[in-house]
Amino acid sequence: MIGIIGAMASEVDGLKEIMKNKTIDIISGVEFCCGSIGGKEIVVAQAGVGKVNAAVTAQTMILKYNTKAIINIGVAGGINPTLNIGDIVIADRTVEHDMDTTAVGDAPGFITGIDRVYMDCDKEISELMYQVSKDMGIHTIYGVVASGDIFVSEDSVRNKIADVFNGDAAEMEGGAIGHVCTMNNVPFAVLRAMSDCANNDSVVDFPAFAQKAAKTSIEIITEFLKRYKG
Ligand code: ADE
């Protein structure tokens, strides 16, 4: 079983609509929809926005559904200057940009316990998602997906994420899912379509482009599931 997590309804509803043989469980107020696409058994959940919601959902998937991999899909704010709205970032690593124990001598983003700043994504899944996105003619890059419990809507915050973490896209869940998957030794990947550029225009761009960007990420994951052999 592969787990697929989105934060908002627009990021997962399109998948739930095309799933076959659906069953639903509600755990901690989160709906887990099991079924299949392209012959692959999947569980899809709308976690809600932010790192804690994402973490609870990822941990539940691992314990209850024994997911062999988790993929986080949805929208993000583009930070890498080559990115425009509608483009795709496939994470090669995730980071939690709001994790900060620098006052006691740690590196920015350092997570005590798993003792690292960056979480590495699964290569096989990421490469196939990258290929699918490219084949659809979309400008697609690998990069650092930086997560925090903040909607990035100021150039100053965007610049900090770029300078301190080499962040290519900002969102609010991928790093938490990476964190949970790393703790549990479960492979994970992050696919994000740009709804805005994580800057002073984001409050205008996000509502205008999030729906369409979310749809693009659903189209890519759907085709991925058809091609994936794992
Ligand atoms: N998701 C989409 N755009 C975002 C932004 N600018 N900041 C955080 N999460 C986002």
pLDDT score of 230 more than 90: no
Atom of ligand 1 nearest to the CA of 172: 9
pLDDT in tens, 32-57: 999 999 999 999 999 999 999 999 99
> What is the average pLDDT across 166-178?
98
Tell the residue nearest (CA) to atom 2 of ligand 1.
76
pLDDT score of 3 more than 90: yes
Confidence of residue 140 (pLDDT cuts 50, 70, 90): very high
Contact 153, 199 (CB under 8 A): yes
Report how far ligand 1's centroid is from the alpha carbon of 77 (Å). 4
pLDDT in tens, 23-34: 999 999 999 999
Please report, for residues 7, 69, 148, 173, the alpha-carbon distance to residue 202 in angstroms, rounded to integers and kept in the order given.
Answer: 18, 31, 16, 18
pLDDT in tens, 189-213: 999 999 999 999 999 999 999 999 9
> What is the average pLDDT across 139-163?
97
Report how far ligand 1's centroid is from the alpha carbon of 17 (Å). 25
Give the integer Cα–Cα distance in Å for 224 and 104.
Answer: 43
pLDDT confidence of residue 195: 98
Report how far ligand 1's centroid is from the alpha carbon of 71 (Å). 18
Judged by phi (left if over 0) then psi (alpha if -120 to 50, else beta), residue 26 lies in beta
Specify the long-range contacts of residues 16-21, CB closer than 8 Å, at least 24 apart.
16/44, 18/222, 19/44
Report how far ligand 1's centroid is from the alpha carbon of 230 (Å). 31
By C-alpha distance, which of 225, 8, 37, 38 is closest to 129?
Answer: 225
Atom of ligand 1 nearest to the CA of 198: 6
pLDDT confidence of residue 38: 93
pLDDT score of 86 more than 90: yes
pTM, 2 dp: 0.98
End-to-end Cα separation, the chain, in angstroms: 10
> What is the average pLDDT across 123-139?
98
Give the residues surrounding ligand 1 with Cβ less than 6 Å away. 75-77, 151-153, 170-172, 195-196, 198, 202, 206
Atom of ligand 1 nearest to the CA of 152: 7
Give the integer Cα–Cα distance in Å for 6 and 73.
Answer: 5
